Chains A and B, each alone.
Chain A
């Protein structure tokens, strides 16, 4: 195993890209990452994507994206792990480079979600859950999260408004990210008055879908030591699984796969939670922010909302989260999301995060959740 560095990053804005196709988006982000790395060729392309088969009727994305990037005959294939497909692609690229099999790997996360009707997209997203035992009952993805949040409120005694800081923080940061889908700050009043989607989850608890792609070039660490700009190393890379269905979990209020993948990543990096400067977590729904913070050791069981209420999640505070808007405001193009998180971590570590730049950004963590917690990948990146 050899150390791995991130040499280049690229992203498209998250939005409704009526004029751009799945392949256009992947190509745009991939080429941007290669240009950023100063490379014209890569040896392998790993495409993270969840829904191309259902929403674009297109599979075999590895060959398609490699071709459109002008990288034939590079090795390439698609990696799918529901909403964690992006981080899974990064993880595979990391394994390829760290093992010594590949010297230059490109990981691209891409999703095209706005060509279809909202019912079709909702049904497609729900395939992340258990088709035979959850989906058949008409449960939606937001519905599963609502079931978890209701029980969480019941067991730990929080009020719905206690989750407002997660959404307010994400929107405040997204307002200063030109690539964010939602660039409007919100107030606590907006949060409490938002339309109910699936009680207790309202519109401002839920992240917006969107079209988008983000990409990174991974190389052996020795290749970046002569570069002038901040060198970004992958200090920890791990993923873990839990039951596909929420109802099969011994404790539906604990993200076991987050706990296990974070614990492995901390061990690889030789770090403890207190040494993480900022955390790009998977705030697809505000309840997931609380559960992630708890499973990763930043908060005690049932105490996740406290970090928001005490203001510790904001920029320049103890543990900034969603520094470029998170899923909530940057947007959640599902199979691309994990790559956006990693690109944003690299931006912070390089000092290229613009108005959202953190003063202390030496070690950043990203965590991408697939399904309602069934597959979770955790990465820790640091400045060399």
Chain B
């Protein structure tokens, strides 16, 4: 039932593709028809780097239906390098170590599964930025 709905969002979910406004050059995520900054039409695709920092965070202990298997899990508002803020889960991290300002990077992970035989939804989560060798 949800297949087309999730399919439509594949470039946003898998690659953080948003838009850059032709008029004010603001970076927009998710993509929308009207630039929220200048009110003009927006349509040029822009792939975000996936780098950002934790703007705020919490830990969900009482999950909504469909997320019970993952609880408890950390949720954050992540401020992307290019400007926009996104809501996403944090992963590969001890939630006691999370702090506002922590550098994070996007990874693709399982967002939820609809039971043993249903759809598996993938999308972006964020993990602490790995040190480069």
Q: B-contacting residues of A (Cβ < 8 Å)? A: 118-120, 122-123, 126, 132-140, 142-144, 146-148, 150-151, 154, 196-201, 243, 245-248, 252
Contact = CB atoms under 8 A, between A and B. Distances in A.
B75 interface: yes
Contacts of A132: 5, 9, 30
Contact of B63 (A136, A138, A147, A248): A138
Interface string B52-72: 000111111111111110100
A140 B62 contact: yes
Nearest to B124: A137
Contacts of B43: none
A144 B123 CA distance: 19
Interface in B43-90: 55-68, 70, 73, 75-77, 84-89
A198 B30 contact: no
B121 interface: yes
Nearest to B9: A132
B119 interface: no
Contacts of A150: 56-58, 100
Contacts of A243: 36
Interface string B5-35: 1000100000000000000000000100000
B60 A198 contact: yes
Contact of A247 (B62, B63, B77, B125): B77
21 contacts: A119-B64, A123-B65, A126-B64, A132-B9, A133-B87, A137-B89, A137-B125, A138-B111, A139-B60, A139-B75, A140-B63, A143-B58, A147-B76, A150-B100, A196-B61, A198-B59, A199-B58, A246-B77, A247-B77, A247-B87, A252-B85
B74 to A, nearest CB: 10
Contacts of A197: 61-62
B2 to A, nearest CB: 10
B87 A119 contact: no
